[in-house]
Amino acid sequence: MKKIIDAVETVVDQALDGMVVAYPEYLVRVAQTSVLARANPKEAGKVGIVSGGGSGHEPAHGGYVGFGMLDAAVAGEVFTSPTPDQVYAGIKAADHGAGVLLVVKNYTGDVMNFDIARELADADGIRTEVVLVNDDVAVQDSLYTTGRRGIAGTVFVHKIAGAAAEEGLDLASVKAVGDAVVANVASMGFALTSCTVPANGKPTFELGDQEMEMGIGIHGEPGIERVPMMGAKDVTARLFHRLVDELSLTSGEPIAAMVNSMGATPQLELAIMTAHLGQLARDGGLVLERVLMGEFMTSLEMAGASLTLLRLDEERARRLKARADTPALRIVGH
């Protein structure tokens, strides 16, 4: 393992401090916790939005704390969901009297820990609701599994539900906005290399030079299928068509897309994928209204990328373009 760290045990704690050093105008760290909250919280009346999960997905989730997105982000150990007491600290930091929406990715640990945190909040009279994100179409959703995972599409939920909260919608309405994003978003990713979790010290899986993993999650866990290496055009097309099918997108529909690096894939390669995405959208008659390209939901230093498509309606389009001012995503708004 070759990483710029001091000790495995202090990785997350130090990284959270570093975020505050870099973005003091956006972030404060809630003392004695792994919670990053807004440096300038909204006045009473706004629904709070809290997200979180394991560390290692930077800029998720602390990078999305700020105007128009999250009120607080809760960090767990690397790829490990945060504990209930930490999530509850995040809820308290985000509560301005109008209740708190929790944006949770559908992983068993995240679901359970956020669930216990809700019980704690309930006991103290803080109202909470949950939006469960399950955008990863690589996973079969059946009665016999825990359902699909939540991956990069979560960022669209933060953005659009965040905009709705800034507009002053109440808790149930902000939840409904978030649920509607979930119902209209789909993602799929691939990996060219594994990453190395610091606590484990070695790559989670090995891939040959001519192999790639399709359908990975965001925790360095193996994908659903190991396939021969393919070029940018083929992999983009494969992801795109899978997502179009999943969302039943038809010609003329407006969409947004996210081309997301898993951590080690550079902008150059993302831009090539994005060029193919543009052509594929045109070929399919889809109106690509907005593309987010870069690092949004990573897996440490894993090479690879994910593609997310979001079906837009007028409100989602408006909220996607509304002003956001956070360390990792700034949208001027118009």
Partner 1 sequence: MDDTTFRQLWRRFAALVHEHRGELNDLDAAIGDGDHGSNMDRGLAKVVDAFDASPEGGLRSDAKLVGMTLMSTVGGASGALWGSAMLKFGASLPDESEVSWAGFVQALADFVAALATRGGAVVGDKTMMDVFIPVTEGLVASSAEDQTALTQALEQARQASDATSALVAKRGRAAYLGERSVGHVDPGSRSSALWFQALLESQATVSA
Q: Which amino acid is at 162?
A: G
Q: Does 222 bind partner 1 (CB under 8 A)?
A: yes
- The span from the CA of 325 to the CA of 332, in Å, is 8
The single residue among 15, 39, 116, 227 that binds partner 1, judged by CB under 8 A, is 116
In the complex with partner 1, the residue whose CB is nearer, 84 or 327, is 84
Q: Does 200 bind partner 1 (CB under 8 A)?
A: yes
How does 32-67 read in b/e, with b if 16+ C-beta sit within 10 Å?
ebbbbbbeebbeeebbbbbbbbbbbbbbbbbbbbbb
Count other C-beta atoms under 10 Å from residue 200's C-beta: 13
Backbone φ and ψ for 327, nearest 5 degrees, come out as -55, -40
The single residue among 81, 134, 187, 260 that binds partner 1, judged by CB under 8 A, is 81
Q: Which stretch binds partner 1 (CB under 8 A): 72-80, 180-188, 302-310, 325-333?
A: 72-80
Q: Which of residues 297-316 bind partner 1 (CB under 8 A)?
A: none
The total number of residues written for the chain in this structure: 334
Q: Does 135 bind partner 1 (CB under 8 A)?
A: no
Site mask for partner 1 (CB under 8 A), range 158-197, x = bound:
---------------------------------------x
Q: Does 80 bind partner 1 (CB under 8 A)?
A: yes
Q: Does 227 bind partner 1 (CB under 8 A)?
A: no
In the complex with partner 1, the residue whose CB is nearer, 222 or 254, is 222
- The span from the CA of 45 to the CA of 95, in Å, is 9
Q: Does 210 bind partner 1 (CB under 8 A)?
A: no
- The span from the CA of 28 to the CA of 104, in Å, is 22
Closest contact distance (angstroms) between CB of 154 and partner 1 is 16
Q: Does 107 bind partner 1 (CB under 8 A)?
A: yes
How does 163-195 read in b/e, with b if 16+ C-beta sit within 10 Å?
bbbbeebebeebbebbbbbbebbbbbbbbbbbb
The single residue among 162, 217, 263, 304 that binds partner 1, judged by CB under 8 A, is 217
Let me know if 57 is a catalytic residue: yes
Let me know if 241 is a catalytic residue: no
Spatial CA neighbour of 51 closest among 33, 30, 73 = 73
- The span from the CA of 252 to the CA of 281, in Å, is 10
Q: Which sequence positions are flagged as catalytic?
A: 57, 219
Site residues, partner 1 (CB under 8 A)? 54, 76-86, 107-109, 112-113, 115-116, 138-140, 144-146, 149, 197, 199-200, 204-205, 217, 219-222, 224
